[in-house]
Structure 1
Amino acid sequence: MTVALIGLTAPHSKGWLTTLQHLPECERLLIADPDSEGQEDMPDDAEWVRSMDELLQGDLRPQLALISARNDQSPQIGERFLREGIACIIEKPCGRTSAELSRLNDAASQGKTLWAPAFMNRMLPVARHARRIIVEEGGIGRVVSVEGRMVTSTVEQRNPQHWLFDKQVAGGGILHWLAIHTIDLIRYLTGLEYTNVGAHIGTLSGTGIDVEDMAACSFQLSGGAVGSLHAGYVLRQRYGDIGLTIRGDLGEIDWPMWGRQGQGRTLYIHEEGPRS
């Protein structure tokens, strides 16, 4: 398979590059950058392509495009490849607005192909195990309550000059970049959809940015479950206080994803209780 990596300078581009280099299915790796940057970091086992036009022509045409660009660039790049019938994986949040995501869906329909946001946390063994217990086995009964936390290191530690903190480029702050993982995992782990949402957001870091660095969200899911999500760039002493707790009428699952001891991949499961 020929795969094109679009973007070498976004926060996760190097990680995507390493993944593709180790993927047996990736027989030919093409690399292009919308700003023509990063060529000095090119590995020997990849081919640099000067423009998007070249990627859509002749034998350079890939079967898959992995787009890891700025939030303001990804939708337009994705639309172009999708209309040409080339499947895409697009780094989250895939765009700045819901309208931009809707156009990606339209382009995929036009090109008769598929695209997916890069929500890789779904593929963690611990996440798949939790989904199996909740959705497939009904191990905690009917889901009634969800609590999510995405609290992490400060804007100052992450460089307030980065485009991630520029609303025109990024579209939003911590909800767009990090809490979106929790938002997606809630859907994936419960098998439920959001029906009502509300939030209070704030820009409180005093760093001159124009996107939210704190958010307190509330929501209701199909089936009636209620939940909350707290997110913030606020921790000075450690990387993260990140976790997800899902409660049902027969039990609960608690997944501390990141805490004082580092990353957590253990589920704490309680499956006793009366049926409601």
Structure 2
Amino acid sequence: MKQSFSVLAILFLAFSLVACASRPESGFLSAVAYSPPGAVDHTLLVATTRERDARPGTLFNGDRASAIDYAELTVSVPPNHKQNQIEWASAPPGDPNVNFVVRDEKYLDGDRAFLQALNAQLALRPPGSRNVFLFVHGFNTMFAEAVYRGAQLAHDSQAPGVPVLFTWASRGQATAYVYDLNSATAARDALEHTLRLLLRSNAEKVNVLAHSMGNWVTVEAFRQIRLSGDLPPASKIGTILLAAPDIDIDVFKSQLRRFGKPQKPFYVVLSQDDRALFLSRTIAGGVT
């Protein structure tokens, strides 16, 4: 029951998914060695369709890669953290006393390294808490924003398990809606592959939270799994939460027909205050 309440707490946190005032294009993921008393570290595993970026403290950008890539980051949440907020630094890399910062980061070389890192994190948790919390971000999201939002959601929700971020190649620009939509569509196979890896891991449950345009790629990935006929063990699929889905209602109904009646907790959450969804609806002509 505690697990259910923890996952449901994300329901309220999802409404705060908005970008920071000054966009963290580069440098905000540079590792900071110092960890002050009261700071809390979260190890975040990343699967992405973004292109690698050679600039220090950046890792990935908004360009589309030709293949799925992986990384592992340790994010420090500052002692002064306020729930639902990301305490952004005014300049990189930030002060761990008052800002979200990265304590460690590295690329992971392929599926095997990703699975090994995930299973190692799961092994650090007691039985009953060896779950995965998968976050799929939405429209207009830079890589650093996705990383820190994933860490913030894991921290504030206290969801038991290992936080995993699936980040598709959003340009991180309000005017790049069509580019983002095409990037999300191109990421369907990669998210399906990631879900299958998570379900093959030693995780007891895989819980999923998608936001805004991230719902499009999430529902499409589950639809593809269903259509393939190669279905994973249903017992390992936990709660699925679709927050402020940026999907045309008729398309959404068509997608869900492939699912049939949900066998697991399945929530669709709407918010009139979601800025990313409002912006995407405006660009799309109000049809969502």
Q: TM-score, normalised by structure 2?
A: 0.32
Q: TM-score, normalised by structure 1?
A: 0.33
Larger radius of gyration: 1
Q: Which has the higher contact order (CA 8 A, sep 6+)?
A: 2
> Would you tell me which structure has more helix in proportion to its own residues?
2
> Would you tell me which structure has more strand in proportion to its own residues?
1
